[in-house]
Amino acid sequence: MPSAVDRESINDYLEGLKAAEPGQLMLIDHETGVRTFHPGEDDKRLRVSLNRLTETHWAVPEARSLFSRTIIEFLQLALQSSQLLCFETFHHEVGLGMRMHREGWYVRLRGGGPLVTVWIALADIGEGGGEPQYSPGSHLLHGFGDARLDDAATHEQVVNRFGSECAEIRRFGARKGDVLVTRGDLGVGGAPVADECRMFVGHFCALADEPAYFENLAAEFRVKRQLKRELYSSTVYAGKY
């Protein structure tokens, strides 16, 4: 979706991010877990592959303008729902460098409806920055519906086999404001990280079809707040709890 988010909204968000007060932002650190992000002190950790800020759309109100009308209307069609739920938003400074996988393996929806991921380029993304990759047609691959997440060894085998069967790999080389939307059963990953790959990523489903893990959260962490007339959001990243 070329230029689905206007550059002024992106610039406002990035300025808001800089102005966020200490203690407002949360860092997902793949080595130490989810913790408070301290600007300056943690800047280097944010630039480590797999690390990212989470739920900046709550700490930085300007982030909500990234959910443009173009994105909302597309998601309403894709999810066949007039009301949408956004959960687990991430801010990346560098790419993830992840193997090909299906997002739906890790986030199951209670009603079994579709899950989609929205990738917003906050800056131009070129080759070599850990840019997102996807495999057209990989949602049709059979035998991968259950990735055996409760068995680490089997899961490793499934992920490796899935990657080997993703015949075609395309990359999300993008200009600032471009958006990629992927379905939860599509193979997605990231090229090796060598440079900046600044992105905002959000996961979406129909409001009535929330993630199954919500059942395991305390009531105060299952709250859905209204961001726009047709868009709601959960308020926390579940990994913290």
Q: Which residue has the higher pLDDT, 68 or 50?
A: 68
pTM of the model: 0.93
Q: What is the mean pLDDT of residues 2-9?
A: 96
7-235: which CATH architecture? Sandwich (2.60)
- Residue 39: predicted pLDDT: 85
Domain boundaries, the chain: 7-235
Check pLDDT > 70 for residue 1. yes
Nearest to 36 by CA among 24, 48, 18: 24
What tokens appear for 144 in the block? 């991968």
Tokens 């009535």 -> residue: 208
For 26-30, the CB contacts below 8 A with 24+ separation are 26/53, 26/54, 26/55, 26/59, 26/237, 26/240, 27/51, 27/52, 27/53, 27/54, 28/52, 28/53, 28/54, 28/90, 28/237, 28/239
CA 26/CA 54 separation, integer angstroms:
6
Would strands 187-190 and 26-29 be described as parallel, antiparallel, or unpaired? unpaired
- Residue 194: predicted pLDDT: 67
C-alpha separations of 94 from 78, 160, 197, 234 in Å: 28, 23, 4, 25
184 close to 102: Cβ distance less than 8 angstroms: yes
Q: Read off φ and ψ for residue 143, nearest 5 degrees.
A: 90, 10
Check pLDDT > 60 for residue 241. no
What tokens appear for 53 in the block? 């800020």
Check pLDDT > 60 for residue 42. yes
What does the longest C-alpha to C-alpha distance in the chain come to?
A: 47
Helix, strand, coil percentages for the chain (3-state, nearest 5): 30, 30, 40
Check pLDDT > 90 for residue 54. yes
What tokens appear for 143 in the block? 């035998």
- Residue 240: predicted pLDDT: 61
Burial 177-203 (b: 16+ CB within 10 A, else e): bbbbbbbbbbbbbbbebeebbbbbbbb
What tokens appear for 169 in the block? 């790999």
The one-letter code for the residue type at 162 is F
Q: What is the mean pLDDT of residues 230-238?
A: 84
126 close to 195: Cβ distance less than 8 angstroms: yes
Q: What is the mean pLDDT of residues 179-187?
A: 95
CA 148/CA 75 separation, integer angstroms:
29
Residues pairing with 234 in the sheet? 224
